[in-house]
């Protein structure tokens, strides 16, 4: 047998089958290097449109283009071999009609080699989800706090604080599940609502700021690594890469200025 046995990439049915089972681990990643590290531990990797803010300094995800998602999606697919790679459909590329959504989702899948796309919206996107799935495009849905609609929602607000708002979220969850989505991200949602939805639907719920009651969890990698100055309150920061990078850069700058860089052993003669 070859020493280099090919690792099989996780598939959409493998993720869907984890409903109610071993919790699903996922993170975002936007480039090949971090994706290769995340790949060892994550069941799926999301190339999220949060890259607009995290990588490109945008104010929101609204300005992210299809081309940007494809560029980062390609890098993540290249850097990984095990995790299912899911690429976000950016704002304005799927809401207009199911056929516009199909054209853009197919472009993402063909050009990046990813295994699925994610789009935001519940009931209003159900018809589009069915249209895509019936034509071979696996869809992860995203409900609750949906950043692409932050202008309509009036900012990034936790969803479900008032119990009388729960019905709409429950209907959204049921609609995307029945439409054929293989999993759904619940973002910024109070715990009892996330728990209720997780019990009610047949597909895995992936929480981000939605409690441990979900079937899996996702975080933005740069948030949990401590790379962003501001992170949402619910994010547990596991690393301190921001300060670590600053220490390294300032030490380098000092060494250049006092002419102690490069050291003797790094000089070609």
Q: Which positions are annotated as active-site residues?
A: 187
> What is the distance between the alpha carbons of residues 251 and 86, in angstroms, rounded to a whole number?
38
DSSP helix/strand/coil, 26: strand
**Identity of the residue, 187 or 213, whose beta carbon is nearer to ligand KIV in the bound complex:** 187
Among 48, 138, 188, 226, binds ligand KIV (CB under 6 A): 48
Could you check whether the bond before residue 260 is cis, i.e. omega within 30 degrees of 0?
Answer: no
With binding defined as CB under 6 A, does residue 50 bind ligand KIV?
yes
Stretch that binds ligand KIV, among 48-56, 151-159, 195-203, 241-249 (CB under 6 A): 48-56
User: Considering the complex, what minimum distance in angstroms separates the CB of residue 143 from ligand KIV?
Assistant: 11
**Identity of the residue, 49 or 213, whose beta carbon is nearer to ligand KIV in the bound complex:** 49
Q: What are the start-end ranges of the E strands in 15-149?
A: 24-28, 44-47, 84-88, 116-120, 139-144
User: Considering the complex, what minimum distance in angstroms separates the CB of residue 187 from ligand KIV?
Assistant: 6
Binding mask 126-145 for ligand KIV (x = CB under 6 A): ----------------x---
Stretch that binds ligand KIV, among 9-17, 47-55, 154-162, 240-248 (CB under 6 A): 47-55
**Identity of the residue, 39 or 120, whose beta carbon is nearer to ligand KIV in the bound complex:** 120
> What is the distance between the alpha carbons of residues 29 and 39, in angstroms, rounded to a whole number?
10
Q: How many CB atoms lie within 10 A of CB 155?
A: 7
Residue closest to ligand KIV, measured at CB: 48
With binding defined as CB under 6 A, does residue 42 bind ligand KIV?
no
- Measured in degrees and rounded to the nearest 5, phi and psi for residue 170 equal -65, -40
Residue among 10, 7, 57 at smallest CA distance from 222? 57
In sequence order, the 6+-apart residues with CB closer than 8 A to the CB of 76 are 29, 30, 31, 32, 35, 45, 47, 85, 112, 114
> What is the distance between the alpha carbons of residues 141 and 118, in angstroms, rounded to a whole number?
6
**Identity of the residue, 3 or 227, whose beta carbon is nearer to ligand KIV in the bound complex:** 227
Long-range contacts of 148-152, Cβ-Cβ distance < 8 Å, separation of 24 or more: 148/49, 148/61, 148/62, 148/90, 148/91, 148/120, 149/120, 149/121, 150/60, 150/62, 151/60, 151/62
Q: How many residues are present in the chain?
A: 269
Binding mask 4-33 for ligand KIV (x = CB under 6 A): ------------------------x-----
Among 15, 45, 80, 88, binds ligand KIV (CB under 6 A): 88
Give the total of residues touching ligand KIV (CB under 6 A). Answer: 12
Residues numbered 178 to 237 that lie near ligand KIV (CB under 6 A) are: 185, 187, 208, 218, 220
With binding defined as CB under 6 A, does residue 34 bind ligand KIV?
no
**Identity of the residue, 109 or 220, whose beta carbon is nearer to ligand KIV in the bound complex:** 220
Residue among 145, 148, 138, 59 at smallest CA distance from 106? 138
**Identity of the residue, 42 or 220, whose beta carbon is nearer to ligand KIV in the bound complex:** 220
Write out the residues near ligand KIV by the rule CB under 6 A: 28, 46, 48-50, 88, 142, 185, 187, 208, 218, 220
């Amino acid at each position: 047998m070859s020493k280099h046995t090919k690792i099989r990439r996780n598939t959409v049915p493998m993720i869907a089958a984890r409903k109610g089972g071993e919790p699903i681990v996922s993170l975002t990643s936007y480039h090949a290097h971090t994706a290769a590290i995340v790949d060892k531990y994550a069941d799926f990797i999301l190339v999220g449109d949060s890259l607009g803010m995290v990588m490109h300094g945008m104010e929101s995800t609204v300005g992210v283009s299809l081309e940007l998602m494809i560029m980062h999606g390609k890098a993540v697919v290249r850097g990984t071999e095990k995790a299912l790679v899911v690429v976000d459909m950016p704002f304005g590329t799927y809401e207009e009609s199911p056929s516009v959504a199909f054209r853009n989702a197919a472009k993402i899948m063909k050009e990046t080699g990813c295994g699925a796309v994610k789009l935001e919206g519940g009931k209003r996107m159900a018809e589009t989800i069915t249209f895509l799935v019936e034509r071979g495009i696996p869809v992860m849905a995203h409900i609750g706090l949906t950043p692409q609609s932050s202008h309509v929602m009036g900012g990034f607000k936790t969803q479900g604080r008032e119990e009388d708002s729960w019905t709409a979220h429950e209907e959204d969850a049921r609609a995307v599940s029945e439409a054929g989505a293989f999993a759904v991200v619940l973002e910024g949602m109070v715990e009892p609502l996330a728990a209720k939805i997780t019990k009610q639907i047949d597909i895995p719920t992936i929480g981000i700021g939605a409690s441990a009651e979900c079937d899996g969890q996702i975080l933005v990698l740069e948030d949990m690594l401590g790379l962003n100055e501001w992170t949402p309150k619910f994010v547990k920061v596991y690393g301190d890469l921001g300060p670590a990078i600053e220490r390294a850069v300032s030490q380098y700058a000092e060494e250049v200025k006092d002419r102690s860089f490069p050291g003797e052993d790094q000089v070609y003669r």
